[in-house]
Structure 1
Amino acid sequence: VVVLFALLTGSSVSVAYVFQASRPGEDAGSPPQTKTISDSLWVSSAGSCKGRCFELEEALPPGCRCDNLCKTYYSCCSDFDEHCLKTAGGFECSEDRCGETRNDDHACHCSEDCLSRGDCCTNYKALCKGDAKWVDGECEEITGPECPAGFIRPPLIMLSVDGFRASYMKKGKAVIPNMEKLIVIFFKGLYPESHGIVGNSMHDPVFDANFNLRGREKLNHRWWGGQPIWITAEKQGVKAGTFFWPWPYVYAVHSEQPDTFGHRLGPFSNELDNPLREIDNVIGQLMNGLKQMNLHRCVNIIVVGDHGMEEAHCDRTEFLSTYPLNVDEINLIPGSLGRIRARDPKSTTCELHSTCKMPTQHFKPYLKQHLPKRLHYANNRRIEDVHLLMERKWHIARKVPENRRHPGRCGFFGDHGFDNKITSMRTIFLGYGPSFMFQTKVAEFENIELYNVMCDLLGLTPAPNNGTHGSLNDMLKAPPFTPTMPEEVTAPTSSDTTSATTYDLGCSCDNE
């Protein structure tokens, strides 16, 4: 992953260039493949991005676009890569580039005029002028925002790292020195039943349509529920931009690493150190660039993961074909959580559920209304009726593959999506900036709480959400919202221990 950040204070614009499209190859051990998204078949690519890179206003069809989501919507102008995704010269200065003659084809510059023009590589001052890198400086408490003139509020930059298992932080300064310097807080979980994106693949019975990450249906807004932070910001007059996530007082960037290599190599492979170093280098580039422009005491920064990573392997797979049911009558979303839907909507899923019970099986079958309530994974029509909650490290599939390309070989050694009470599913939260408490660790929390925190950092009124506003006030220096306790409506009375009443709430609990 290479991300080059540039903050242009004069126009209050945050820009992040993200060059990352590697995924595991189809065969184990093959190198990551570069994914190139073709130009749109529906939007004309005529026109130019010269002078328009990452424009704030999206060009409407039939015009081509140069904003940060044009790749996602297959609507970029034909010269978008040439003008907006420059890679020539690399993304950092080297000693032989210091004082170079300006080359406008370079992605960033190391010439003497780069500071005045605002386009230096992020390590220009450190390498060419002898300034200290951010990571080498002393840990300091930022008592208040120190922002250049023209800033209404401290901007918020959020970097989401995919599949960053919390235990990766134990690798320390040898692998992730920049992340080591940031404050560490842990969290887990989210409520997909409320926002409607219940999985990477799903079926909506009302739409009679399927959603997955490869098809164009993912771009249809009818699937999306809830309100993400950047929409809340825009509705309340605060500029926002995202990269790789559905300028700039709030800015979000999502990285596919270390998830891609975590799947391929497993969470305990020494080779995983390389993608972790890449992520840490990105954070180092960001912090050096902010320091170079005297913004490192102005901006609030959040580094957050979406989930952890657990060991997994093809040899630890349950096959539904070994159970007394006809697998041709069902649709199964396979993997670390088996989601089953009958092909015939009129069939009885309860009968299907009752057959999935054998003494040695590595999953627990549930009707969705009986899943542990802490999962918050039932109240949505897109959630299948039957679920197989897998043991950690185990997968579920419909039947044994008939013709494997390479028998005995497995293309993955890690996965996620297991029960979020498992420690390996936990991820990280790092908060840094003038609004965060200094060197403070808080108790673990669910990541649904972060929306309210980000609203507080930006002075926004949160939209309705599943979080508890104010629950993370301990991490903020001056939280703007203080929750109030509900008023008691009945006076306390002494309890009668001789006639205790037992109430059956009708819940199905997971006691493990």
Structure 2
Amino acid sequence: MQNMKLERILLVTTCFVIASLNINAVSKKSKLLFLLVDGFRWDYFDLPGANLSGFDRLFQYGVRAQWMVPDFPTNSFPNYKSLETGLHVEGHGFVGNYMWDESTGNHFELPMSEQSSFLSSWWDVEEPFYITADRQGIRTGLFNVRGCDIIINGVVPSLCEPFLDNSSTASVSLQLQHALEMLQHDQIDIAYRRYTHITYELHLWKNVYHMNVDTAGHNFGPNSKEVEAAVTEVDAVVSELLDVIESIGDPHISLVLVSDHGMTSVDQTHKINISEAIDIRDVRKILDSGTQTLIWPQPGKTEQVYNRLREFHKNLKVFNRADILDRWFFKKHSLIPPIFVTADKGWYIVHQNKVDESYASLIAKPWHGNHGFDNDDLDMMAIFAAYGPDFKKNVVVKPFSIVNVYQVICHVAGIKPHPHNGTWNAVQDMFVEQELHTEL
């Protein structure tokens, strides 16, 4: 019966799980199950017709935030790293799902199909919590995480099981059960499991029942029945997950559930083709599309390209690097180009000579939903909820930044954190014993 419940957990395809068992780092045995659901908007709990008994149960016996503010840009990889390091984007250096290093000519791209994405220069900038844990003797196992065997500052996780491209539910189930067995038998202390979409192509997602929340939002829009079905599936996972935690009977297990960003509707007629505004011969490199684009003009062409773009479209925001908004914590990094453009909410950018082919279908048929927009917009807000002996019950706390999750992980799992951008004041009200925390 318990195995059937564990298999049920795997039906959501865009989440990652971290289960933490720490014996020696704190005075009491501490366990943490950390679950991230990609693209789960803060108000999906209120979708009409959704009967979310699992989430209701989680909220009743735990704590939740009104919403959680993602980092800008409100895309996956920048916010994965903000969760893992507690740093804003300009601090950890993952400025987008697609990046170009002008000094080396190397590219990073989200599918990580090119070898250049695995170079240490992308990864050694700041240390994720799972590497810090291993460095402190808290053994980590990474399952289905792209690049889990990358050496970061001289350390690799204790265990790295390979990423399963487009894996079946059965194979994922076997892998997670193996991870849980290793935790139970004290072979590892942290099991990190991530579920991410492999591609954005619509034809791969015909089975709505297994569609993840983020992909459903992209392909059908945030107010669609497909999103409601995906959210209901997550709710079933939460319910079964709580059953499993309670059946284990360990009084020191906590659950933290978050998302990386929200989602908003996109009008299919709201296309901004910036190739109509600029001469591509004046551009040395142009990267990414959709909600924002990064542009490196040819020498002596920066002012010309900037002026043409600035006057091109009223729903296109154009920035010289120095003028990028300070509140985004985005511009003070060497990977930010001389010109950065972003679309207003509900619009999308296309252009020629794209490096990232994942957006290729946008010109012919754009998505019905997207993220990446200003992190001041409510539609971009993410979720945070927690349950267990470390957390209060039936409490709603004020919104806080995503960089604060790092210190929650470190506090519950007993990891001594690195310097970060979070503040203890932002999260202390969710804990039962506010005074007993790792100094941050």
Normalized against structure 2, the TM-score is what? 0.70
Amino acid at match of 2:109: N
Is 1:310–1:424's contact at 8 Å kept on the other side of the alignment?
Answer: yes
The CA distance in 2 between the partners of 1:338 and 1:468, in whole Å, is 32
Is 1:165–1:307's contact at 8 Å kept on the other side of the alignment?
Answer: yes
Match for residue 321 of structure 2 among 362, 368, 371: 368
Compared CA separation, residues 411 and 327, structure 1 to 2 (3 A): same
Q: Could you say which residue in structure 1 is the equivalent of 2:132?
A: 232
Q: Could you say which residue in structure 2 is the equivalent of 1:170?
A: 46
The CA distance in 2 between the partners of 1:160 and 1:271, in whole Å, is 19
Amino acid at match of 1:187: M
SS at match of 2:45: helix
**For structure 2, which runs of at least 5 residues remain unmatched after alignment?**
18-22, 72-87, 149-182, 197-211, 355-359
Q: Tell me which moved more, 236-245 or 260-269.
A: 236-245
Is 1:4–1:17's contact at 8 Å kept on the other side of the alignment?
Answer: no
Amino acid at match of 1:260: T
Shift of 1:347: 3.8
The CA distance in 1 between the partners of 2:218 and 2:190, in whole Å, is 30
Shift of 1:205: 1.6
Compared CA separation, residues 175 and 207, structure 1 to 2 (3 A): farther
**Are 1:253 and 2:193 an aligned pair?**
yes
Q: Could you say which residue in structure 1 is the equivalent of 2:343?
A: 390
Match for residue 388 of structure 2 among 425, 433, 439: 433
Shift of 1:230: 1.4
Alignment of 1:109-508 (within 5 A): 152-171=28-47, 174-183=50-59, 184-185=64-65, 186-190=67-71, 191-214=88-111, 215=113, 216-224=115-123, 225-245=125-145, 247=183, 249-256=189-196, 257-295=212-250, 297-323=251-277, 325-330=278-283, 331-342=286-297, 344=298, 346-358=299-311, 360-398=313-351, 410-479=365-434, 480-481=436-437
Shift of 1:482: 8.5
Shift of 1:458: 1.9
SS at match of 1:340: strand
Shift of 1:379: 1.4
The CA distance in 1 between the partners of 2:135 and 2:190, in whole Å, is 13
1:269-305 deviations in Å (ceiling 9; x for gaps): 122122112222222222222222223x431111100
The CA distance in 2 between the partners of 1:357 and 1:370, in whole Å, is 13
Count of aligned positions:
342
Shift of 1:258: 0.7
Is 1:470–1:481's contact at 8 Å kept on the other side of the alignment?
Answer: no
RMSD of aligned Cα (Å): 3.3
Is 2:8–2:240's contact at 8 Å kept on the other side of the alignment?
Answer: no
SS at match of 1:159: strand
Compared CA separation, residues 395 and 258, structure 1 to 2 (3 A): same
The CA distance in 2 between the partners of 1:406 and 1:213, in whole Å, is 17
Larger radius of gyration: 1
Compared CA separation, residues 304 and 446, structure 1 to 2 (3 A): same
Q: Tell me which moved more, 168-177 or 455-464.
A: 168-177
Is 1:160–1:252's contact at 8 Å kept on the other side of the alignment?
Answer: no
Is 2:315–2:343's contact at 8 Å kept on the other side of the alignment?
Answer: yes
The CA distance in 1 between the partners of 2:414 and 2:49, in whole Å, is 35
Is 1:267–1:414's contact at 8 Å kept on the other side of the alignment?
Answer: yes
Compared CA separation, residues 249 and 157, structure 1 to 2 (3 A): farther
The CA distance in 1 between the partners of 2:122 and 2:242, in whole Å, is 36
Q: Tell me which moved more, 371-380 or 467-476.
A: 467-476
SS at match of 2:304: helix
The CA distance in 1 between the partners of 2:122 and 2:376, in whole Å, is 28
Q: Could you say which residue in structure 1 is the equivalent of 2:155?
A: none
SS at match of 2:255: strand
Amino acid at match of 2:45: M
Shift of 1:411: 4.8
Is 1:160–1:305's contact at 8 Å kept on the other side of the alignment?
Answer: yes
Amino acid at match of 1:237: G
The CA distance in 2 between the partners of 1:231 and 1:5, in whole Å, is 30
Which one has the bigger helix percentage?
2
Identify the structure with bigger relative contact order (alpha carbons < 8 Å, sequence gap 6+): 2
Identity %: 25
Is 1:368–1:377's contact at 8 Å kept on the other side of the alignment?
Answer: no
Shift of 1:447: 0.6
The CA distance in 2 between the partners of 1:482 and 1:153, in whole Å, is 15
The CA distance in 1 between the partners of 2:313 and 2:104, in whole Å, is 38
Shift of 1:188: 1.0
Compared CA separation, residues 418 and 152, structure 1 to 2 (3 A): same
SS at match of 2:43: helix
Amino acid at match of 1:284: S
Is 1:156–1:249's contact at 8 Å kept on the other side of the alignment?
Answer: no
Is 1:335–1:397's contact at 8 Å kept on the other side of the alignment?
Answer: yes
The CA distance in 1 between the partners of 2:144 and 2:49, in whole Å, is 28
Normalized against structure 1, the TM-score is what? 0.60
Shift of 1:407: 11
Compared CA separation, residues 221 and 157, structure 1 to 2 (3 A): farther
